[in-house]
Structure 1
Amino acid sequence: MPMRSDHSHPMKLVILGRDGTLNHYRDDHVKSVEELQPLPGALEAVARLNHAGWHTVMATNQPGIGRGLLDMASLNAIHLRLNQLLAEKGGRLDAAFFCPHTPEEGCDCRKPLPGLLLQIGERFGVGLSQVHMVGASLRDLQTAKAAGCIPHLVRSDRLGMLDEEQLADMVALVPGTRVHASLSAFAETLIHEERRSKADARGEDLPPNTGPGELN
């Protein structure tokens, strides 16, 4: 059973997209374990978040199932392998939520609709306004906004090809979006900001963060 939050100690939760966030995006979908290629540093970033007390859950569109490109057994094997690779780094995903439908099916769980994120909030008993959603596409940002999450964008995969103007145009569509060079940079930033917040509450000084986690 998932851990549930309470008002005095709310669960610290990060929702992650999959393709382009944790692993390399493929136009033809990741259809097998062999096609799963984690992005450099992404698994270590999840482990760092976990070690800092953050729970991580994955939310991903998988229309390849609806199109017959892969079956549930293949998807389960891919996610099992992903968790095995995470375990080798000392990390884990608490759960993987996915939409198996094609756009034509008109479901309410396909991102950018908020269905998957609402399911996550319900299952883990958390309010989504303090949940961080990290993705690698405009669709992910729109999903975060629709669900009331805090939107974050990582540029470590295909978004790295966008110039600054193109990136700014995308971010402007979802006000409040925070941009990070990679999932590692996001993790560094989130962990540092939490430490700074706790230090401020105690009236203590915290050395400035000079690591890779600064926002672009």
Structure 2
Amino acid sequence: MSSTTPLHQAGRPRGFEPEAALRAALAVFWRQGYRATSVDELTAAMGIRRSSFYACFGTKHALLMQSVAHYADHVFADLQAIAASGLDHDAAIAAILDRVAEPEGGVQGCLFISMISELAPDDAELAAYGRFHIARVGDLVTSILIAARIPPAEAATRAGALLACAVGAIMLRKAGLPPAQIAALLAATRPLLAPANHPSAL
């Protein structure tokens, strides 16, 4: 479940680049939110007419889903690359948490988290995609913890706690908490990386 309905082929203006248009729309949603963004604002940013917008993307909501999936797939690819980089378990998880907790948007936060916060309570499709993405990131962290000799059930619980902390750090960064305090918060999760029988895990 890495994407939503493919782009329609009909109605594309000459020189139309779907990826570039999607990135432009993503930036608008990220900056303004979904409900505050009009189709006119999207088409202006994407450089296409309304007719091309509807022919290529279907609806504003379909475009949102493609934007969120595009963003989330990019983030997950980064996390997979970290996991496969050869770092030891502690360093790999620390790097993954840093990547999650400090998204490319900086104080603007994470597009995925922003859209989930705004819409998921009333948007079943987005909520389902949110659960899927959170689960795959959790599974990735869990696999690293299992490789560090933490039992599977406990590894899954610890992975959930680590990711909850990282997501909390995103919100604190948006609220203006100093970077040093956020770094200290993430550092406080290190006992969760220790093997189950290690004193620091108790």
Q: TM-score by structure 2 length? A: 0.30
Q: TM-score by structure 1 length? A: 0.29
Which one has the bigger helix percentage? Answer: 2
Which one has the bigger strand percentage? Answer: 1
Larger radius of gyration: 2
